[in-house]
Structure 1
Amino acid sequence: MTTRLPKLIAFDLDYTLWDFWIDTHVHPPLRRHHVTGKVIDSQRKPKTIAFYRDVPQIMHFLQAAGVTIAACSRTDTPLLAREALDLILIPPRTGSSDMKPISAIKFFDQLEIYPSSKIRHFKKLHEKTGISYDEMLFFDDEWRNQEVEELGVTFTLVPNGLDDQILEKGLEEWRKRHPVQVTEDVVEADGTLIS
Structure 2
Amino acid sequence: MNLETIQKFPKLVVFDLDYTLWPLFVYIDCNPPFTKVGNEVRDKNGTVIKPYDNVPEIFQYLKQLDCKIALASRTTEIKGASQLVDMFGWDKYVDHRELFPADKPAHFANIKKATGIDYKDIIMLILFNVLFCFSLKNVTGIDYKDIIMLILFNVLFCFSLKNV
Give the direction of change, closer, same or farther, for the CA distance of 1:56–1:124 in structure 2 (3 Å limit): same
Q: 1:72–1:112: 8 Å Cα contact kept in structure 2?
A: yes
Tell me, yes or no, if structure 1 residue 15 matches structure 2 residue 19.
yes
RMSD: 2.2
Q: 1:16–1:160: 8 Å Cα contact kept in structure 2?
A: no
Q: Distance in 2 between matches of 1:105 and 1:87?
A: 8
Match of 1:187 in 2: none
Structure 2 unaligned segments of length 5 or more: list them.
128-133
Q: Distance in 2 between matches of 1:68 and 1:159?
A: 24
Match of 1:39 in 2: 41
Structure 1 unaligned segments of length 5 or more: list them.
89-102, 178-195
1:43-192 mapped onto 2 (5 Å cutoff): 43=45, 46-88=46-88, 103-141=89-127, 142=134, 144=136, 145-147=138-140, 150-151=143-144, 152-161=146-155, 166=158, 169-170=159-160
Q: Distance in 1 between matches of 2:154 and 2:47?
A: 19
Q: Distance in 2 between matches of 1:105 and 1:129?
A: 17
* Offset from partner CA, 1:91-122 (integer Å, 9 cap, x none): xxxxxxxxxxxx21221000000000101000
Q: 2:125–2:151: 8 Å Cα contact kept in structure 1?
A: yes
Q: Number of residues paired by the alignment?
A: 151
Q: Distance in 2 between matches of 1:52 and 1:70?
A: 17
Deviation at 1:147, TM superposition (A): 2.7
% identity of equivalent residues? 27
Q: Distance in 1 between matches of 2:7 and 2:58?
A: 15
Paired residue secondary structure (1:18):
coil
Q: 1:148–1:155: 8 Å Cα contact kept in structure 2?
A: no
Deviation at 1:24, TM superposition (A): 0.9
Q: Aligned AA for 1:17?
A: L
How does the TM-score come out when normalised to structure 1?
0.70
Give the direction of change, closer, same or farther, for the CA distance of 1:50–1:29 in structure 2 (3 Å limit): same
Q: Please say which structure displays the higher CA radius of gyration.
A: 1
Q: Match for 1:4 among 5, 8, 18?
A: 8
Paired residue secondary structure (2:91):
helix
